[in-house]
Structure 1
């Protein structure tokens, strides 16, 4: 997609991987200091050694400090931090821990619709019960507490709801939840004794000036001890998103709050089965949470690279939203955060009929036509879930801006032809 790696991150990983480079004059002193510190915590001072299953101790300490700074002093303990193989590994591990029972006592997991398909796949694989709650598209994909209550009450007839998943900022929808919305969710989880999974991997990707990222942990703490000492919460972060985009390193972490000590012991056993997350990914995660500080040699270049990536993403989010909303028969909610657009598309009745003759759902038919005619690959909304009778697709905003302009114009031209053909 043309996004350049963050120099400092690659330098620290390179130095840890090949320590002989510590003698090279081509690496800055602050990158060398970080690499040397991390290597001291590695078995044999080598990145090729297993780490503790929970992750390198120094990196968990850095994650805890990062979270305290991010949340304005809300305390974080390194013992509650687990370094994971991307956020996905943490999410599926916690799901394994929570799923139990048979029949009407089978664990129910509430997930947003539209959702990131990792959740429905994990629920299916583990034999849990999926409980959908719909985000309010007409209200910028907001969370509706009444919608949560309705679906929870209905689900209690056929399963045992125990888990509530939240994705903030949203994937595929790109919304940023308000503080009030988060408070409502926490109260709901408190009242209904639900375990919250807070997927916060896009926390750095906030583009709208009217929006701010509020971590579930911070809001929970500020709601007072009645909530902070009882509501069970796990939050997730990753090297794959934000301004780094380092998906291949498979770095991530999760913080566990208010988990029963005996259950926590089982979590550590479960994590020990996979030995440890990739140590180079742990190093990449450390740079995300412990970047260069003012006065350090790499601070200026790091800040310049970081802000360039985030500025470009914000510009591309606005461009995508604006262009999609000029297309007749298409509507895109404001792209407040994350890395995607999820526009609603009008599919004419004739196109729906033709899709049926091909054994396809209408938005898959639309996306296949788009792919065949333009070479543009987007994902049909049916892959994420959507209200019956509505159709969407998800596209990324990651392309270099000049290519993105061409892509959006091609989507516009295709959609115009599609409507002309089938209306």
Structure 2
């Protein structure tokens, strides 16, 4: 998509992969210092060696310090932090840990609709039961506890719901849940004895005025010991999103809170099966958690590059919503966070009939026609789940702003042509 990598992240990674460059004047001293510190704790001072299964200890300590800074001083224990091959690996590990039973005692996993398909695929792979709760599109994809309760009560007729998954900021919907909403979710999980899984990989990607990221852990501890000593929580973060976008290097972490010690022992066994996360991903995660500090040689350029990426994304989020909202038949909520818009589209009855005749979902038919005629690839809403009778597509806001303008214009023109053709 043309986003330039953050220089400092790549410098430290390069030095760790090829330590012979530590003598090169091309690299700033703080990048060299970070690389030497990380290489010193690698087996044989090489990123080619296995590490401890939960990840390198000093990196887990750096993650803990990052979480403490983010959450205003609430303590984080490095022993409760597990590094992972991106957040996806950690999500699957936790689902494996939590799924059990047969028949009506089988674990039910509550997931938002629309959802990121990792969850539905993981639930299916583990033979758990998918329990859908619907986000409220008319209120900017907010989460209503009454909907959670409806889904839970209905699911208890055929399974044992044990897990509640939240994606915040949302993928594919781009919403940022309010603090009040998060408090309500925590109270609901406490009342119903549900294990909370908080997917927070887009926590750096918040754009809308008045929107703010609140970590589930911070809100949980600020709600007091009634909740903070009882509610079981795991939260996930990744180097794939944010301002970094280093999805190919596969780095992430999860932090568990209030896990029973015997259960945590089983988690450690599960984690050890995959040996260790990729070490270059661990290295890059550490630099994200422990970035240049004021006064260090790379600080100014790091902050400048980070702010350019995030301000560009904020501009593109607003641009996407503005342009789509001008097109009759397309409804697009504000893109408050993450990296996608998820507009709702009206599809004429004749197009629905044509799609069904060809064996496609109507929004899949629309997306295929769009791809064939314009070369623009978007994902149909049916791939994420949506309310019956509604149609959507997910589109990334990542392209360079001038390219994005062209994409949005072509897409809008195609939609007008498509609806006229099938009207």
Output the TM-score relative to the length of structure 1: 1.00
Task: Tell me the CA shift for residue 82 of structure 1.
Answer: 0.4
- Paired position in structure 1 for 2:87: 87
- Paired position in structure 1 for 2:36: 36
Segments of structure 2 that go 5 or more residues without pairing to the other structure are: none
Other structure's SS at 1:392 match: strand
Confirm whether residue 220 of structure 1 aligns to residue 220 of structure 2: yes
For residues 354-387 of structure 1, the C-alpha deviation after alignment (integer angstroms, 9 at most, x for no partner) is 1111011100011011011111000000000000
Instruction: Measure the CA separation in 2 of the matches of 1:25 and 1:58.
Output: 27
Instruction: Measure the CA separation in 1 of the matches of 2:279 and 2:46.
Output: 10
- Paired position in structure 1 for 2:106: 106
For residues 234-262 of structure 1, the C-alpha deviation after alignment (integer angstroms, 9 at most, x for no partner) is 00000000000000000000001011111
- Paired position in structure 2 for 1:186: 186
Instruction: Measure the CA separation in 2 of the matches of 1:227 and 1:37.
Output: 38
- Paired position in structure 2 for 1:284: 284
Output the TM-score relative to the length of structure 2: 1.00
- Paired position in structure 2 for 1:60: 60
Task: Tell me the CA shift for residue 310 of structure 1.
Answer: 0.3
Confirm whether residue 271 of structure 1 aligns to residue 271 of structure 2: yes
Q: What pairs up with 1:64-213 in 2 under 5 angstroms?
A: 64-213=64-213
- Paired position in structure 1 for 2:12: 12
- Paired position in structure 2 for 1:244: 244
Confirm whether residue 393 of structure 1 aligns to residue 386 of structure 2: no
Task: Tell me the CA shift for residue 104 of structure 1.
Answer: 0.1
Instruction: Measure the CA separation in 2 of the matches of 1:35 and 1:74.
Output: 29
For residues 121-160 of structure 1, the C-alpha deviation after alignment (integer angstroms, 9 at most, x for no partner) is 0000000000000000000000000000011011001000
For residues 169-220 of structure 1, the C-alpha deviation after alignment (integer angstroms, 9 at most, x for no partner) is 0000000000000000000000000000000000000001210000000000
Query: Following TM superposition, where does structure 1 have runs of at least 4 consecutive aligned residues deviating by more than 3 angstroms?
Result: none
- Paired position in structure 1 for 2:254: 254
Instruction: Measure the CA separation in 2 of the matches of 1:333 and 1:33.
Output: 45
Number of aligned residues: 423
Q: What pairs up with 1:373-384 in 2 under 5 angstroms?
A: 373-384=373-384
Instruction: Measure the CA separation in 1 of the matches of 2:40 and 2:256.
Output: 26
- Paired position in structure 2 for 1:331: 331
Q: What pairs up with 1:360-375 in 2 under 5 angstroms?
A: 360-375=360-375
Segments of structure 1 that go 5 or more residues without pairing to the other structure are: none
Task: Tell me the CA shift for residue 338 of structure 1.
Answer: 0.1
Please tell me the root mean square deviation across aligned C-alpha atoms, in Å: 0.5
Task: Tell me the CA shift for residue 44 of structure 1.
Answer: 1.0
My pick for the range that moved more, 86-95 or 17-26, is 17-26
Instruction: Measure the CA separation in 1 of the matches of 2:338 and 2:287.
Output: 20
Instruction: Measure the CA separation in 2 of the matches of 1:135 and 1:283.
Output: 36
Instruction: Measure the CA separation in 1 of the matches of 2:300 and 2:288.
Output: 16
Instruction: Measure the CA separation in 1 of the matches of 2:64 and 2:120.
Output: 30
Task: Tell me the CA shift for residue 287 of structure 1.
Answer: 1.0
